[in-house]
Structure 1
Amino acid sequence: MKKKSLLALAATGLAMSSVLAACGSNDDSKDSGSGEKDGFKVGMVTDTGGVDDKSFNQSAWEGIQKFGKDNDLKEGTGYKYLQSAKQSDYQPNLQQLARANYDLILGIGFLMAEDIGKVADQFDDKNFALVDMVVDKPNVASIVFKENEGSFLVGVVAGLTTKTDKVGFVGGVNSDLIKKFESGFKAGVMAVNPDAKVEVQYAEDFNAAEKGQAIASGMYGKKVDVIYHAAGGTGQGVFTEAKNRKKNGEDVWVIGVDRDQVEEGMPENVTLTSMVKRVDTAVEQVAKDTKDGNFPAGKVVEFGLKDGGVDIAPSQDNIEKDVLTKVEDYKKQIIDGKITVPATDDEYKEYEASL
């Protein structure tokens, strides 16, 4: 598969607008009277986690917002999102943007793969992009990440921070994608703390905070003191449980995902760090390329540690300095190719056997 490196990543601390005004409607009418219907337009369809999930969808929308503002586009006409309340909304939302002649239509999340493939066939003259899954269509760009590499780094943090030698991983839907987070995280923990135990549980939902809280409650109750979540909106429940326990004097932590989730841990300060996945800069870059006439048609656009697509969050005040030194050392080894981070169960077993 062809790959393309991200050429111009924004600095990790780049300020992003978090204004999440709803836009778009449920009708299929084309934009009119906007003054932009003949100009460049980019639209995105959320998965069921919603645009304000404090995670994956929100990061994508922030990237589109920045692209729109940098190119003097109007929100709602030049750039917009359509919300998906359920999976059956994916196809009609994608079709609505295609009929409205959007120049780039982004689907956010691997659960949209089948639908975006079907709609891409229906509108073979339109440009589509899917985040987190490869769709082999000539008019679809597949945006993927090496989540296992970033997860390895926060695994190092967890393994060196835990006082009980028990850490946890809470996944959204058990899938090849989330297995990358799990495998990389476990590998990072084991690299620095082979005595640690990693408890893994999946909620089978990316938008069920109550399930996330219940799972976290069970883990913390078993003396797990650091939990890494890769569960979208479900992860909000992990933060809720950690904050409740912190109020009662328990020393527990959460590691966030996709974007810097330090605010989700406040005011109790339970966010140890986060694994940032620069969905924002990735979709922004693909939008720029498309506007410039360089849409990566049929290509896989991959972002890893080497090109800044994943990393540990800039909020690091709760991490000991010697731990951060270890993180930087492992980061360099991964970038230099000295460590190959596992992305599947089988690869993790091989990795564990090599330690």
Structure 2
Amino acid sequence: MKKRAILLVVSLLLAIACLTGCAKEDNPKPTESTGASLKIMFVVTGNLGGGTNNDDVNKALNDYVTKAGGSVDTYECNMDTSVYETTLKQAAESGNYDLIVTGFGTMAEPVQNTAAQYADQKFLIFDTSIDYTDGKNPNIISVQVNQNHGAFMAGVLAALLTKSGVEGTNDANAIGFVGAMESVAVVDCLIGYIEGAKYVDETIDVQYAFVGNHNDSALTKEMALTQNQAGADVIYGVSQSDLAVADAALEKNFYAICSDADDAKTIEATSKDTANHIVTSVIKDYYNMVYPILEKIGNGEAEFGKHISISYADGGVKLARNEYFDAILPEEVKAKFEEIEKKIINGEIEVDSAYNATAEKIQEIKASASGK
């Protein structure tokens, strides 16, 4: 057995042992019950700490057991895809968990494979969807916000800003998009972004590129600089390295749209100048993506074998509005943005999604990105 596998088994056994023999010092006795207590294993694709999306989910899990009772154990996979399915299967095989929680598209296949082998084990996977056709995966709940709607509004904002004439924009009718990889989730954002920009101006040129991973900040910045050289003065970064787009925006005096967290507020303490070039961030609410489902599971109201979508109107995804948003955008741009936003909230605008579009439809939308 390889050393890594041995360490994985030992770590997981220690976590399981803690369920049966260790007191949970960090989880006080519940002060109010929101449902049944749950023993939860959180299989983290990456790491905890540093204010990541996984941290928001971890807080939701711990807040639930604090109120309702139970425990949360975690295993951090450090983005090592080779241990994803092994970890899930070992947790399921133990029989010690009421619920195994994990997230993101890279976990979809490992979760489905594990759920098929352990039919009595319940799973919750966030920020992706699962195939439920023909009664498949009856022991999984998947949940996702309508991120394509947030990306649509990012495209709207980018198109309005590039045409506004504010300092930092140019005469080229072009905006950009730098995505981590050409996964369904990232393409979902690209589709929304293109459609939002085209809603404002059919002739706008939406340049796009994919880095191939989430971690290459240097290449992310290089791609953003290349798009800026080709005329893009507002560029949306969909990646864990999205701040590299903001670095490029600072260097060449254009604007970035970031993702997942309010990056302008995050970076302002160390680089106020960089924050001044982040017009907004598209933020997915991971805490409220997960916590309400835990309550439904605890109350016996959850329907496994189904996918849950949280709309823009319900706050599943939003664009950060802070002092940088207010300082960069003219009032007429804000007013037009809010007018279109109301239509999204009211369901007056339909936005395509990579999760249910055919390959031909996705290609059609990509082809429409270039200016006319």
TM-score (norm 1): 0.79
Distance of aligned partners of 1:120 and 1:195 in 2 relative to their CA distance in 1, 3 Å threshold = same
Q: Which of the numbers 349, 353, 356 marks the counterpart of 1:343? A: 353
In the alignment, residue 51 of structure 1 is paired with which amino acid?
A: L
Q: Percentage identity across aligned positions? A: 24
Post-superposition CA distance 1:249-274 (Å, at most 9, x none): x4222212123222344322122111
In the alignment, structure 1 residue 26 sits paired with structure 2 residue 43: no
Post-superposition CA distance 1:307-328 (Å, at most 9, x none): 2212222433343333222222
**Equivalent residue number for residue 310 of structure 1:** 317
8 Å contact 1:54–1:261 — kept in the other structure?
no
**Equivalent residue number for residue 105 of structure 2:** 110
- For structure 2, list consecutive stretches of 5 or more residues without a partner in the other structure: 1-8, 28-35, 163-168, 355-361
Distance of aligned partners of 1:60 and 1:192 in 2 relative to their CA distance in 1, 3 Å threshold = same
Structure richer in helix, relative to its length: 2
Separation in 2, partners of 1:177, 1:97 = 26
Which runs of structure 2 are paired with 1:1-355 in the superposition (5 Å)? Answer: 26-29=11-14, 30=16, 31-35=19-23, 39-48=37-46, 50-52=47-49, 56-71=53-68, 78-85=71-78, 86-98=80-92, 99=94, 101-131=96-126, 132-136=128-132, 137-162=137-162, 163-164=169-170, 165-231=173-239, 233-243=240-250, 245=251, 250-266=252-268, 267-268=272-273, 269=275, 270-315=277-322, 316-317=325-326, 318-344=328-354, 345=362, 348=365
Post-superposition CA distance 1:155-180 (Å, at most 9, x none): 11111112233211111221222221
Distance of aligned partners of 1:226 and 1:265 in 2 relative to their CA distance in 1, 3 Å threshold = farther
Give runs of ≥4 in structure 1 deviating > 4 Å: 35-39, 52-55, 68-73, 349-353
Between stretches 204-213 and 170-179, larger displacement belongs to: 204-213
Separation in 2, partners of 1:58, 1:35 = 22
1:69 Cα deviation after fit? 4.4
In the alignment, residue 81 of structure 1 is paired with which amino acid?
A: T
Post-superposition CA distance 1:177-224 (Å, at most 9, x none): 222111111111122234432110011212332332222232233342
Between stretches 32-41 and 319-328, larger displacement belongs to: 32-41
In the alignment, residue 129 of structure 2 is paired with which amino acid?
A: M
1:282 Cα deviation after fit? 1.0
Distance of aligned partners of 1:230 and 1:51 in 2 relative to their CA distance in 1, 3 Å threshold = farther
Separation in 1, partners of 2:66, 2:122 = 21
8 Å contact 1:42–1:287 — kept in the other structure?
no
1:226 Cα deviation after fit? 1.4
Separation in 2, partners of 1:256, 1:68 = 32
Q: Which has the larger radius of gyration?
A: 2
Between stretches 56-65 and 144-153, larger displacement belongs to: 56-65
Separation in 2, partners of 1:237, 1:350 = 26
1:304 Cα deviation after fit? 1.5
Post-superposition CA distance 1:53-106 (Å, at most 9, x none): 755434433433443444466xxxx22432222101212322344326222212
In the alignment, residue 45 of structure 1 is paired with which amino acid?
A: V
| 3-state secondary structure, aligned to 2:129 | coil
Post-superposition CA distance 1:273-306 (Å, at most 9, x none): 1112122211111112112222321011111213
In the alignment, residue 44 of structure 2 is paired with which amino acid?
A: T
8 Å contact 2:194–2:369 — kept in the other structure?
no
8 Å contact 2:91–2:97 — kept in the other structure?
yes
| 3-state secondary structure, aligned to 1:293 | coil
- For structure 1, list consecutive stretches of 5 or more residues without a partner in the other structure: 1-23
Separation in 2, partners of 1:294, 1:340 = 30
Separation in 2, partners of 1:217, 1:25 = 46
Separation in 1, partners of 2:217, 2:336 = 33
How many pairs does the alignment contain?
320
Instruction: Give the root-mean-square deviation of aligned CA atoms.
Output: 3.0
In the alignment, residue 172 of structure 1 is paired with which amino acid?
A: A
